[in-house]
Chains A and B, each alone.
Chain A
C-alpha cells in the first residue's frame, strides 16, 4: 500500500528521509510585545487618518460607549483565521534537501444574532501540503503537476478511509531563500501555508459581501490586521480589486508592535500609548503600502488607531488592554481626508462595549481579547484534527 511519502517520492523523483515529524508552531505562552512584527506599510506623514483634525491627544469615549450600549451592537460577524503547520518529512530532490511541510488551515466567520445565539456562518477548513517548486521534475505545467499529485494523495486508501481530502498542494520558490532574511526552507513552506490562509480569509469576506450581509448596521470584525501583505499568487492577490469588500470590515489586533505606533510627524508614540487612559482612543493615523515596491497594486490606504479597553491597573503590561483598530479607506474622500471621526467613535465605542465577557484564565491575552473573536478562535481550533492524527497520515 502506497503511503503519501511514497507517492511524493515517485512523483518528484526524490528520496524521503523518514525524519522526525512534528508540529512546527510554537504555541504562544506569554504575551510579549511583538517587536518582530514586519511592517510593509508606511505612515503618511502629516496626513490625518480622520476628518476631525483638531484631535491632538486622546479622546474619551466612556460616555459614547455607555450611550451605545443600549442599542444593537454594530458588529454582527466575526472572522478569524488560523493555521497549524507541521514538518512531516525531508525530501531529497536534485541533491538538495527540502522539508515537506503540511498544514491545517481554518478560517471561520461566526454570526451573532443575539447575545445568546452565536453560530458559525462560514467555515473554510483545509488540509494542505507545501513543497518547493523543484518538486515538479519538469519546468512547465507546475499547476497541473501539483494538482495531479493532490489527486494521487487523495486517492490513497489511508486518506480515503478517514474521509479526508487535501485541498491544495502549495509550492514555494526556493529562490527566495537567497535574498530574503528567511533562512530556512521551513519558513518558506509555512509562509506559503500562511498565504493560503489569508486567501481563505479574503474569500470569506468576498462571500459575505456577495450575500449582502455586511452593511452599516452589521459590520464584520476581523481578528488581526487588515494590512495584507501583497502576494504574488492567490485568487485575491489584487487588493485594490477586492477593496470594496471591506467597506464594513474592521481589523482588530490584540498584539502589535508599539514601535510602529507613530504620531503624525512620524515620531514614536509608544510611551504615550502606554499611558493611554481607559476608554480613550488615539487620533487615527493614515498608513499606506510601501509605495515604490507595490505601486502596481494601486492605491491602498488605512486608518489606524488605538483604544484602551481595560484599565492598566488590572493588566500585566502597559500595552495589555489596548487594541489596534484598522479600517481600509475606500472612497476618494476617505483617501484624501481620512475616515469620518464620528464613524471612528462609533466603531471604537462598540469595541469598548465588546470588552466583556473575558477569557481570563483561559487565554493569557485576555486583556486584549474580544470574546466573540475568542469564541470564533475556539470554534476553529475544535475543527482541527489532533496533531497525532494529522502527523500519522504520512
Chain B
C-alpha cells in the first residue's frame, strides 16, 4: 500500500506501547479515525488509528512569521516556503503477531488495505454479525468503504447488552440510528425460525416520528438503497408493526398521528386505556418525578392498593378521586395516623391533575372488535416473536408519559419473569428490546432516588441482560444520565454534540481531537464504542428505510 511517512521517536516524545508519531507530507489528506500500518520487528505489522494531526514549521514564534513576511507586508512573496510537515499521533490498536513493543524510529508508515483495516479495528471474523453502519476511510483514489458489524451477542445479550445513544436533537438523528439498528436486528431474527427470537417495544415520544415505521420512505434514493444492500439489509420497512395510541374519544386530542383510523381498519392500531381494577398498583408511577424523601406518596399508593381505609371496594378512578378527597378534609387523618392530611392533600392535587387531564384512565374497555381498545399490559403480555409495538405517548403530559413507560417496563418484566400465566414459554420472545428517547426524563441524575421508573430502569440495565430485556435509550446529553444506567450499557453511540457537553467528565477518555470532531459530526455519522471494537469507530449509516414526516 501507499507509503505516507515514517515513524519519529524523539527524546521528549518517544513511541510507546500505546501510541506513536509519524510525519507525513503537509499536503497529504488523512483524517482522525483513519487506520495506518507500520512495519515492525519480525516482519509484523502494527496498526494504529489516527488521533491527532498537527502541522509544524521551524517558525520559532509568531513574531518570526511576521518578520518573514518582510515585517508585516501581506503581499510579500518569498522564494522559499518555510519548511513544514504534518505529524500525526496515532493510537496503537494491535499488531499482527501480538508484538506490543513500541514501533521503531524511521519505520515506514502506510495506508492500510481493506483487509488490514478489518484486522486492525477488530472487524474481522465477527461472530453473530449484525450490521451497524459503515466506515469510510482515506481520500480518493485510495478511499475504502467497509461495512461494520457488531457481534449481536454484545448488543442484545447475552454477553453484553443495552445501547445508549447521545447527541443533540435534529443533527444527531438518534432515533434514525436506533431504528436502523432495530431494523437490522429484525431482519436477522425474522428469518430464524428456531433458537433465539426477538420482539420490540418502541415509545414514540415526539410528533409522528415512529408512527409509520411499516411504510416505505419514498425519498430514499438508489444510493441509499445500495448502502442497505452493501450492509446485507433488506430495503423493506419494519414488519409486524402494531401501534398503540392513547385513548380519547376523538383520537386526535391524544395523539399527533393522522392515520390512526386507517391503521385501525388494517387492525394494526389500538387504543390503550387504564382501568382502575387492573391498574391501581401502578399509580405510584404517576409520582416518579415528585420528591418523596419521607416516602409518604409511596405509603399512600400502598394504602390504596391494599384497600385500606375506605379504599376497599372502589371500582373506578372517580370513586378513587372522591375517596382521596375525603382524606384531605381536616380531621380526616384520624382514620390513619401515619399519613398526614397534608400528604393526602398533596397526593390529591397531583393525582387529580393527571386524571382530569388525560383520557386514558377509563372505566371500561369496549369489547367491540372495531373499537380496537386494549389495556397496554394485556397487549404486551401477549407480544409475539418479531412483533414491533409502537406506543405513542407524544401528546401525553409528562407525568402520564412516565406512567405509561413505567407500566410498559413492568409489563415486560412480568412477561419475562413468567407471570403471564396462560402463555407457553416457547412462544414468548427470548429477547425484548425497548427503545425510549429522552431517557433524561426518567433516568437523569436529578430524578429522585425513590422514583419507581428509575428503579425499574436500573433493574433492566443491571439485570435485564439475563432476562432478555434490552434497553435502547437515547438522550441529548449523556452527562445528565444516572451513572448506573449508562454504565451498564455495553454499546455507546455518540452523535453530534456541543462543546459544553464534551467538557464533562463523561468524555474524559475521549482524545481531544475526537472530542472536537464530536461537535462537527454530520447527520448520519456516529462515533461508536463497543467491547468488540479495538477503538472508537466513526461510522455512517444510511437514511431511514421507513416513512419520514418532515414537520413532525
Contacts and interface: CB of A to CB of B under 8 A. Distances in A.
Given A356-B70, A358-B68, A362-B58, A115 B78 contact: yes
Contacts of B81: 115-116, 118, 357
Contact of B69 (A356, A361, A371, A375): A356
A73 B79 contact: yes
Contact of B80 (A314, A354, A362, A378): A354
A353 interface: yes
Contacts of A359: 58, 60, 64
B80 A360 contact: no
A67 B61 CA distance: 30
Nearest to A112: B80
B76 interface: yes
Contacts of A378: 58, 83
A112 B64 CA distance: 22
Interface string A283-298: 0000000000000000
B68 A357 contact: yes
Contacts of B549: none
A356 B61 contact: no
A118 B67 contact: no
* Residue of B64, B71, B76, B80 contacting most chain A CB atoms (<10 Å): B80
Interface in A346-374: 353-362, 371-372
A371 B80 contact: yes
| Contact residues of A: prevailing secondary structure | loop
Contacts of A361: 59-61, 63-64
B484 interface: no
A371 B82 contact: yes
Interface in B44-99: 58-61, 63-65, 67-71, 76-83
Interface in A101-124: 112, 115-116, 118
A354 B78 CA distance: 7
A371 B60 CA distance: 13
Contacts of A375: 80, 83
B79 A354 contact: yes
B80 to A, nearest CB: 5
A32 interface: no
Given A69-B77, A115-B78, A314-B71, A360 B83 contact: no
A362 B63 CA distance: 12
Contacts of B82: 357, 371
B80 A118 contact: yes
B24 to A, nearest CB: 15
Given A112-B80, A116-B81, A118-B83, A356 B68 contact: yes
A65 to B, nearest CB: 11
Contacts of B59: 357, 361
Contacts of A355: 70
Nearest to B58: A362
A73 B79 CA distance: 7
B79 A360 contact: no
A202 to B, nearest CB: 25
A210 B53 CA distance: 43
A282 to B, nearest CB: 23
A115 B71 CA distance: 20
A360 B60 contact: yes
B58 A115 contact: no
Interface in A80-139: 112, 115-116, 118
Nearest to A375: B83
Interface string B481-494: 00000000000000
A360 B64 contact: yes
A378 B69 CA distance: 21
Interface residues of A, number: 23
Nearest to B73: A356
Interface in A288-311: none
Contacts of B78: 115, 356-357, 371
Contacts of A115: 78-81
Contacts of A362: 58, 60, 64
A112 B61 CA distance: 25
A69 B77 CA distance: 8
Interface in B317-361: none
Nearest to B82: A357
Interface string A325-338: 00000000000000
Contacts of A70: 77
A70 B75 CA distance: 12
A73 B77 CA distance: 12
Candidate in B63, B69, B79 with the most chain A CB atoms within 10 angstroms? B79
A349 to B, nearest CB: 12
B235 to A, nearest CB: 48
A115 B67 CA distance: 18
B69 to A, nearest CB: 7
B256 to A, nearest CB: 59
Nearest to B60: A361
A360 B76 contact: no
A51 to B, nearest CB: 27
Interface in A163-214: none
Nearest to A354: B79
A360 B58 contact: no
A153 to B, nearest CB: 26
B58 A353 contact: no
Interface string A370-392: 01100100100000000000000
Nearest to A374: B58
Interface in B461-497: none
Nearest to A117: B81
Most chain-A CB neighbours within 10 Å: which of B61, B69, B71, B82? B82
Nearest to A116: B81
Contacts of A118: 80-81, 83
Nearest to B57: A357
A116 B25 CA distance: 11
A321 to B, nearest CB: 12
B58 to A, nearest CB: 6
A67 B500 CA distance: 53
Interface in B11-65: 58-61, 63-65
A372 B81 CA distance: 9
Contacts of B70: 355-356
Contacts of A357: 59, 64-65, 68, 78, 80-82
Contacts of B68: 356-358, 360
A360 B77 contact: no
Contacts of B69: 356
A356 B76 contact: yes
8 contacts: A115-B80, A118-B81, A356-B70, A357-B81, A358-B68, A360-B61, A372-B79, A375-B83
Interface of B: 58-61, 63-65, 67-71, 76-83
Interface of A: 69-70, 73, 75, 112, 115-116, 118, 314, 353-362, 371-372, 375, 378
**Which A-B residue pairs are the 10 nearest by beta carbons?**
A361-B60, A357-B68, A360-B64, A115-B81, A73-B79, A356-B68, A356-B78, A357-B82, A362-B60, A116-B81
Given A118-B83, A354-B79, A356-B70, 18 more contacts: A69-B77, A70-B77, A73-B79, A75-B79, A112-B80, A115-B78, A118-B80, A314-B67, A354-B80, A356-B67, A356-B76, A356-B78, A357-B68, A359-B60, A359-B64, A360-B63, A362-B60, A372-B79
